[in-house]
Structure 1
Amino acid sequence: MSDTAPKQRPQYRNISVPQILSYRLPLAAKASILHRVSGALLFLCLPLVILPLFALSVSSPESFASLRSYVDNPFCKLIVLALIWGYMHHFCAGIRYLCLDLQMGNDKHSAKKSATAVFAVSLVLTAIFGLKLFGVW
């Protein structure tokens, strides 16, 4: 027809997995998804990993020593590092959402900056605790 006709937008009725994986989410959406993932990780690991390890660590000095020798395994350290990341990201993103609930930083630019801050702070804190976990100092 003519060049002035508006281009029709695509309609997605049956979305497949490759289409979903090709979406480019904004950083705030990635922070939101990872906030949910880290919360689920912490929730599921609480009765299975965290509470039994805590109970073993505070019951006696001998059980603490056995737990310490068990956690010296590099695979266990990676699991603990994943839990540390989950806690740090969930904590930092939770503070971000509290600020959003107070109507602070709701515009697009501020949301991107706060999501960047969540990733930066949580990864730096995870790195610090990870260095301590792996015995760098």
Structure 2
Amino acid sequence: MSNTVAKKRPEYRNIHVTQILKYRLPLAGKLSILHRVSGAVMFLALPIILLPLFDKSLTSELSFEEMKALVGNPLVKVVLLGLIWSYMHHFCAGIRYLVLDMHVGTDKYAAAKSAGSVFAVSLTLTAIFGLKLFGVF
């Protein structure tokens, strides 16, 4: 008989609902979740917000003026800013996923760096379009 002690294999368990708030996702995981959320937001906003605004802008000059007055409301601008973020984030993350599909930047360090880049670029673009939306320039 051998006197060697068998190594205990690591045990991986699913986390419990009460542990969700303590669980720390890597940056790429947070990006993935927000990519799904932004896609769902755009999908739901299209028939509810965007198509009616587009219809108002094309129907007549009077309805266009009504649409301009509606979009001039600060609360509506905040909603539109959220939709701008949603589009920018989804677009930038989609490009990252296309690059990952080509097996570029799949190691842990490169994936974290590209996820950070997506956040930086999408938030910068959102800020630029938000400044334009709120009439700063």
User: How does the TM-score come out when normalised to structure 1?
Assistant: 0.88
Instruction: Give matches, 1:22-101, under 5 Å.
Output: 22-101=22-101
- Corresponding residue of 1:120: 120
Deviation string for 1:37-75 (max 9, x for gaps)?
000000011111111111111222221111011111111
- Corresponding residue of 1:15: 16
SS at match of 1:104: coil
- Corresponding residue of 1:111: 111
Identity, % of aligned positions: 60
Deviation string for 1:54-101 (max 9, x for gaps)?
111122222111101111111101100000000000000000000011
Following the alignment from structure 1 to structure 2, what is the Cα–Cα distance between the partners of residues 54 and 81? 16
Following the alignment from structure 1 to structure 2, what is the Cα–Cα distance between the partners of residues 32 and 57? 34
Q: Which runs of 4+ in 1 moved over 4 A?
A: 6-14
Following the alignment from structure 1 to structure 2, what is the Cα–Cα distance between the partners of residues 14 and 23? 8
Which amino acid in structure 1 is aligned with residue 19 of structure 2? Q
Q: What value does the CA root-mean-square deviation take over the aligned residues?
A: 1.9
Q: How has the CA–CA distance of structure 1 residues 114 and 11 changed in structure 2, closer, same or farther, with 3 Å as cutoff?
A: closer
Q: How has the CA–CA distance of structure 1 residues 20 and 7 changed in structure 2, closer, same or farther, with 3 Å as cutoff?
A: farther
User: How does the TM-score come out when normalised to structure 2?
Assistant: 0.88
Structure 2 unaligned regions, length at least 5: 1-6
Structure 1 unaligned regions, length at least 5: 1-5
Flag the structure with larger Rg.
Answer: 2
Q: How has the CA–CA distance of structure 1 residues 7 and 21 changed in structure 2, closer, same or farther, with 3 Å as cutoff?
A: farther
